[in-house]
Amino acid sequence: MAEPTRAAPALLPLDEALERLLAVARERVIADAQTVSTFDALGRVLADPVRSALDVPPADNTSMDGYALRAADVPAAGTVLPVSQRIPAGVVGSALVPGSAARIFTGAQVPAGADAVVMQEQTAALAGEGLGSVRIDVVPQAGQWVRRRGEDVIRGAEVLAAGTRLTPQALGLAASVGAAALAVRRRPRVALFSTGDELVMPGEPLKPGAIYNSNRFTLRGLLQAAGCEVTDLGIVPDDREATRAALRRAAIGHDLILTSGGVSVGEEDHLKPAVEAEGWLHTWGLAIKPGKPLAFGAVRRDSDGGGETLFMGLPGNPVSSFVTFLLTVAPVLRALQGAPAGLPPALMLRADFDWPKPDRRREFLRVRINAAGGLELFPNQSSGVLTSAVWADGLVDNPPGQAIRSGELVRFLPMGALIGN
């Protein structure tokens, strides 16, 4: 009988893999919340919504230096009004004397009875008794240059939802409603190790056959940028027992074990059997390029109150490792923190390059935005060329088998949004 021809194993579409990963991660959302000072909450994920106990701004105030008055008191340009008071920011004036103007400065509350502010550039101050008077050179509209009480935030409104990752501007908004402390999720604890006997650390001599371990730095940085506490377990040799021991150790006290390398199909790829022996494992051929092998599973925690720790094994090629992290690990980390987990929305931008020979896998091409608002392609898209990942502003998400002709719109994923900062 003839050998049956071996069909290439079916590759798993990214969306399906993400669905499965996120389903598991959402069952394991980190429950512990902590209260941290708003000062120290950058990058953390809110466990509870932030509501405002006040209107912002708390009172009508002026957005210009000038004069507060009643618009009806200025029927024509050139009207002169006596200046009845002076109101710097932080001072609350008295009710406006009818038929007068109040000298006022940006941020100060508009006095009761005034309904408009005239900017000082459209006035002339005239000397005289007391505070003198002012000539108004433009007929004002009621409401002009007045920032209304509550125009930013209404008292009782939710200003930040649970699950929000706290950006600098979110911290500012929380502070603007008076929140001195915030309830946030505990940071995900991630154990990281690299596999590969060829790897040495920068600072060590590069012996023949060796390369420097770059993934350790890239992945550690990505984890830190995603708000994780990282335990760096260094380089684990290509050896079954050493890998099993590293996994057992990594399982304790962590939410996720992340590795690079050793998940292909060679005899020197020991991670898969090691994880299988210590827990459970799925190995997927992801239908993405760069990327493809992704291992996903869990390692039993025998000595730490039982349970298991999630495991994700990334490919070793530096660009594959980087891109696969952005597309799979970053969403899992968001889901573990109860944040919206999906990939960021793509922008439709013009390709200023040709891509005549697409892959049958969904490709993530390293591109850069040029001064004309189009996209340029890094010339070498090989999965080992890490320069491409530094040069790029983002990735073009190209559907399987789709050629790109210069001038067409393509899906662009900005690097910052993928990394989550």
Among ligand AMP, Mg ion, none, the one that 260 touches (CB under a kind-dependent 5 to 8 A) is ligand AMP
In this complex, which beta carbon is closest to ligand AMP, that of residue 269 or of residue 397?
A: 269
Amino acid at 355: W
Q: How far is the CB of 381 from ligand AMP (least distance, A)?
A: 16
Tell how far CA 292 is from the center of its chain.
25
CB of 274 to ligand AMP, least distance (A): 13
- Is 217 near ligand AMP (CB under 6 A)? no
Residue whose C-alpha is closest to residue 246's, from 309, 293, 306, 160: 309
318 binds Mg ion (CB under 5 A): no
User: Omega into 345 within 30° of 0, i.e. cis?
Assistant: no
Give me the least distance between CB of 398 and Mg ion, in Å please: 28
Instruction: Give φ, ψ of 372 to 5 degrees.
Output: -90, 10
**Given phi > 0 = left and psi -120 to 50 = alpha, else beta, which region is 335?**
alpha
Identify which of residues 254 and 272 has a Cβ nearer to Mg ion in the complex. Answer: 272
The angle subtended at Cα 65 by Cα 63 and Cα 143, nearest 5°, is 45
- In DSSP terms, which residues pair with 289 in a beta bridge? 363
Given candidates 317, 324, 328, 388, which one binds ligand AMP under the rule CB under 6 A?
317
Comparing CB distances to ligand AMP, the nearer of 120 and 214 is 214
**Under rule CB under 6 A, how many of the chain's residues touch ligand AMP?**
17
Q: How far is the CB of 414 from Mg ion (least distance, A)?
A: 31
Sign of CA pseudo-dihedral 392, 397, 400, 401:
negative
Residue in 43, 196, 338, 394 binding Mg ion, rule: CB under 5 A: 196
Q: Which does 144 bind (CB under 5 to 8 A by kind): ligand AMP, Mg ion, none?
A: none
Alpha carbon distance 314, 322 (integer Å): 9
- Separation CA 340–CA 329 (nearest Å): 14
316 binds ligand AMP (CB under 6 A): yes
Q: Near ligand AMP by CB under 6 A, which window of 35-43, 314-322, 325-333, 354-362? A: 314-322
Pattern 191-210, ligand AMP, x by CB under 6 A: ---x-x-xx-----------
Taking CB under 5 A as the binding criterion, the range among 171-179, 192-200, 240-248, 408-416 that sits at the site for Mg ion is: 192-200
**8 Å CB contact between 378 and 368:** yes
Query: Interface mask (CB under 5 A) for Mg ion, residues 254-273, using x and -?
Result: -------xx-----------
Minimum separation from the CB atom of position 206 to ligand AMP (A): 12
Q: Based on CB atoms, which residue is closest to ligand AMP, 140 or 261?
A: 261
Buried b / exposed e across 269-292, counting CB within 10 Å, b at 16+? bbbbebbeebbebebbbbbbbbbb
Structure tokens at 109: 């509350």
Cβ–Cβ < 8 Å for 136, 145? no
Distance in Å, CB of 269 to ligand AMP, minimum: 6
For residue 348, the cross-strand partners are: 411
Does the CA dihedral 112-114-119-121 come out positive or negative? negative
Minimum distance of Mg ion from residue 302's CB (angstroms): 27
Distances in whole angstroms, Cα of residue 155 to Cα of each of 46, 63, 163, 169, 182: 20, 21, 21, 19, 18
Min dist. Cβ of residue 220 to ligand AMP (A): 11
Stretch that binds ligand AMP, among 149-157, 281-289, 309-317, 368-376 (CB under 6 A): 309-317
Residue length of the chain:
421
Contact residues for Mg ion, defined by CB under 5 A: 196, 261-262
Contact residues for ligand AMP, defined by CB under 6 A: 194, 196, 198-199, 211, 213-216, 260-262, 264, 315-318
